[in-house]
Structure 1
Amino acid sequence: MRRLLSALLVSTLAACASNPKPPPPSPESPALGAAPAEKPAPKPEDPEAFRDKPPEPGKPPELVLPTFQRATLDNGLTVLVSTRKELPLVFAGVAFAAGSAQDPKGKGGLAELSYRMLLEGAGKRDTVALDNAFADLGVSPAMDVHADGAEVGVRVLKRNVDPALALLADVVMRPTFDAKVFDRRKNQQLRDLVRQLSSPIVLAQLAALSAIFSDDHPYAHMADGVPQTVQALTLADAKGFYQKHSGPKAAALILTGDITLDEAVALAKKHLGNWKGPGTPPPAPPTPAAPPRQNVYVVPKPELAQTVMLVGRPGLAAGHPDEYALELATTVYGGFFGSRLNMNLREAKGYSYGAGAFMDTRLGVGPLLSYTAVRQDVTGPALTELVKELAGLKERPITSKELESAREGLIRAIPGGFETIEGLGATAASIYFKRRPLNELERSVEGLRDATSAEVQRVAELYLAPDAMQIVLVGDPSTIQEQVSPLNLGKLTPVEPDAAPTPAAAK
């Protein structure tokens, strides 16, 4: 019996050890048999939360620059080619080395009128027949006249390059210069000028070119001329200009797109190999002086709701050692939306819809300009801010963030100049006009990338100092007198807009 009780005791103790009694429930624990508490529902996601963090920019595409090739025919004609095989298209054009900078004194607009006459009849075709011949190829020729040159060209299917060049050869080698057509074209240019001179911006450009360059300087006028000078032009003037400045040694055949250099040379020999003419590339215009500002030039336009402002000075010629550093400094100051000038006048003050600045490098020294149009009632304050931003480039040196933004923007914008074969042709023409090396695009990218902060700051203080900037204002004269005169920026000097021709002269 004792053994049995001992065994039962041992069994009972073992059972208790293997199945311990549970502890009493804690206040936080649910009672035995009670249903478990439900978990709180998750907070719904904010559908606008993604706006708290801007998306990361993607990897920029690789910069691929076009290449250019050059050949010279026995008669001296330059052939410039850039091959692009994506589509069976070719841009074919002829670039001339003489532009509006070669207009004789008192004959502004002569280059424009002379080159426009090339498309008004050539060879055995009059204006209509020539236009129809181009239309039969599915194209319409374009003509552009610049200070340093001119270009006529078409974009055609590759299979039509040969007939298109045959027409262009007639245009440049055998223009008719018909007297009646000359009168019509001249009057059309006068009508265009009447329309242009109604624009305050055009009036500002005319006055600014005259203020930045002396009146005798080749860059002191626009390519279209002014009514007085165009009205005086004759057919003999136009013929004489073209005969003097045309010829294979003063021109380039430009072919871009689905074409090779060998194909281009063969076509050039076929259509332009017999071209003759005395023209030679003209010298670069002289470097203008940049004296301190003494006057503020005012083009009076009573009751104009806005005041147009152009502020500038002579800049640089293409290829100058300071070119890329100054382009960066100008961009920081006014060359893109986030520039100092635009963020001040537009975003901070609300004076203007926009303000900017640019540097126009040419064969010679081109203009360096800043521009805006502001509400009439804030003419004085806006001009004050513009001048303060120029001075601020020295007082508040360009930051590394500003410089890198300008650098990135300028380099990434370069491909926009050759996204079409016409743009590629215009790039080739610019290289020819400015007499730059064929690797000019690579040099530009390298120059923009390598310009140091110290170099950019140096040229900003040297070229963008406010005292050397000439000021042109187009607007209400009483407002300008009241608001600008107290600023002591110079003597207010009225500049009368060039008079439009009489209706009889513009028939």
Structure 2
Amino acid sequence: MNILQPRPRLGDPTPYTFPKPRHLRVGNGDIVAIDVPGQPYAAIRLIHPAGGATEPHDRMGVGALTSEALEDGVHGNSSLAPALERHGAEWMSRIGWDSFVTGVDAPANRIVDATSLFMEAVRTPALRPDDVVSRREQLVERFRLETSVAPTLAARAIGGQLFSGRYATPLTGGPVKLQEVTPEVVTDFHSRSIAAVAGTLVVVGDLSDVDLEDLGKRVFGDAAETPEQPVSPPEAAEGELPGVLVINRPDSVQSALVLAQRSPSRSEIDLPKAEGMSDVLGGMFTSRLNTELRERLGYTYGVGCRFDLRRDSGIFLISTQVETPTTAPSITAMLEQIEQLRSDGVTPDELAAVRESNTVGLPVTYSNSRSLAGALVEMVVHDLPDDHVDQLRAGFERITAGDLHDAAREYLSPSDSVVIVAGDASEVVGPLEDLGFGAVTVREPETLWA
């Protein structure tokens, strides 16, 4: 007897539809919620428009330090995590250029208790001076440790090459500016920008037994309405483009490379076209940059590119790490691939890969509360419509080869780019000057954010 059954015939994939959020106004705050029946874990996020881009120059890094200090809870000395663990809950806090996001992930049947603890930590933290100073020292030391790694060092130098003002300094403020942020500055920032502002609450999970209005009252209390955030394009950095910055790492056997340029803001860019083009160039394993630099030339284990989009601006960057002698040839290869994409466009196979990679996997991408909450946070921060994910999927489904070719010509501009090399200056400066891409400047790492 043949017990083997024929494999079922696969049908066409069903287009993914993002769940429709529910909106509530409670007091001076807004709630955006998605009910996911049967989802046992919930994600709660509170969004404040107190991102790093709003920080004055004498308080750079205050948002990052406050985000760290909130974890000390209402009793100080890292008291929040153990309190949440009793409810099976986990704390999160993240500062971005455009937002200050705090939150908790908890079992759905513990949402109320976990949210109460979470809100105490957000609205009425201890912020003991000793705790804040300790967190500041940890943040400074972490910055130094992270920038001792060449790719991180190169990436954090991008802002100073493309922007003046706040974006020229990393989000955490850098070690020098961060040391100037006192406990009093943190307390003032928290009082004005977090405790006194209602914000927007995102709630995702099985909400069948959750009273959202009661939850909103617990979270918002009598906090003031969330203020509008002005959006104005940041100023460009001084100096001519294109250019090359070498961050000297004597005796380094490898170079970390970044090629970066400014791009339109999140609201100005055509995302399916831009990200589809980026996928073809360096966003997928089968991308042109990876095929050229990894597979054909053997210069690197991997290379990638992406957009970093903000409310008032954006960055497009390519990054990789190569052996020192191949530094200049790798940049040449990058520029050649960019020019070929700009001149010739994409192939039918590349177009099909872009469509598939950005549509077929959406049910998995948004399969849990945390990922759904992440999408809602993006919608709130960037003023996107409820059907943003569906619009994005539809955009990828109808995208054409001409669209991707147009995006390459619109969004890729090597003449407006900077190349950053974290490597041995004595070995790479000569070949980089011979490359003729732009003026070559050498800096020591410790001088970048002094």
Question: Structure 1 residue 303: deviation in Å?
Answer: 1.6
In 2, distance between residues paired with 1:289 and 1:462?
19
Question: Structure 1 residue 322: deviation in Å?
Answer: 2.6
Q: Give me the identity figure in percent.
A: 23
- For residue 71 of structure 1, the aligned residue among 20, 23, 46 is 23
* Secondary structure of the corresponding residue to residue 14 of structure 2: coil
- For residue 402 of structure 1, the aligned residue among 324, 339, 350 is 350
Question: Structure 1 residue 359: deviation in Å?
Answer: 1.1
Which residue of structure 1 aligns with residue 132 of structure 2? 182
In 1, distance between residues paired with 2:52 and 2:151?
20
Question: Structure 1 residue 60: deviation in Å?
Answer: 6.1
Question: Structure 1 residue 250: deviation in Å?
Answer: 5.4
Question: Structure 2 vs 1, CA of residues 420 and 273 (structure 1 numbering), >3 Å: closer, same or farther?
Answer: same
* Secondary structure of the corresponding residue to residue 211 of structure 2: helix
Larger Rg: 1
- Give unpaired runs (5+ residues) of structure 1: 1-54, 502-507
Alignment of 1:200 with 2:200, yes or no, is: no
In 1, distance between residues paired with 2:362 and 2:265?
19
Which residue of structure 1 aligns with residue 412 of structure 2? 464
CA contact (8 A) 1:120 1:127 kept: yes
Which residue of structure 2 aligns with residue 29 of structure 1? none
Question: Structure 1 residue 385: deviation in Å?
Answer: 0.5
Question: Structure 2 vs 1, CA of residues 256 and 324 (structure 1 numbering), >3 Å: closer, same or farther?
Answer: same
* Secondary structure of the corresponding residue to residue 219 of structure 1: helix
Stretch moving more, 133-142 or 485-494: 133-142
In 2, distance between residues paired with 1:231 and 1:364?
28
* Secondary structure of the corresponding residue to residue 204 of structure 2: strand
Question: Structure 1 residue 435: deviation in Å?
Answer: 1.6
Alignment of 1:121 with 2:69, yes or no, is: no
Which residue of structure 1 aligns with residue 187 of structure 2? 239
Question: Structure 1 residue 129: deviation in Å?
Answer: 4.2
Which residue of structure 2 aligns with residue 489 of structure 1? 437
CA contact (8 A) 1:182 1:235 kept: yes
Stretch moving more, 139-148 or 305-314: 139-148
What letter is aligned with 2:230? P
CA contact (8 A) 2:28 2:222 kept: no
**How high is the TM-score relative to the length of structure 2?**
0.91
What letter is aligned with 1:107? R
CA contact (8 A) 2:327 2:428 kept: yes
Question: Structure 1 residue 65: deviation in Å?
Answer: 3.3
Which residue of structure 1 aligns with residue 388 of structure 2? 440
In 2, distance between residues paired with 1:366 and 1:416?
28
Question: Structure 2 vs 1, CA of residues 192 and 69 (structure 1 numbering), >3 Å: closer, same or farther?
Answer: same
In 2, distance between residues paired with 1:500 and 1:179?
29
Question: Structure 1 residue 176: deviation in Å?
Answer: 2.1
Stretch moving more, 444-453 or 277-286: 277-286
- For residue 352 of structure 1, the aligned residue among 289, 296, 300 is 300
C-alpha RMSD of the superposition: 2.6
What letter is aligned with 1:64? Y
- For residue 283 of structure 1, the aligned residue among 214, 230, 251 is 230
* Secondary structure of the corresponding residue to residue 247 of structure 2: strand
In 2, distance between residues paired with 1:69 and 1:407?
26
Deviation digits for residues 237-276 of structure 1 (CA, Å, limit 9, x no counterpart): 112222232257551111101115973223212x124231
* Secondary structure of the corresponding residue to residue 73 of structure 1: strand
Question: Structure 2 vs 1, CA of residues 106 and 416 (structure 1 numbering), >3 Å: closer, same or farther?
Answer: farther
Question: Structure 2 vs 1, CA of residues 129 and 476 (structure 1 numbering), >3 Å: closer, same or farther?
Answer: closer
Deviation digits for residues 368-390 of structure 1 (CA, Å, limit 9, x no counterpart): 11111111111121111111111
Which residue of structure 2 aligns with residue 131 of structure 1? 81
In 1, distance between residues paired with 2:433 and 2:290?
24
The number of equivalent residue pairs is 442
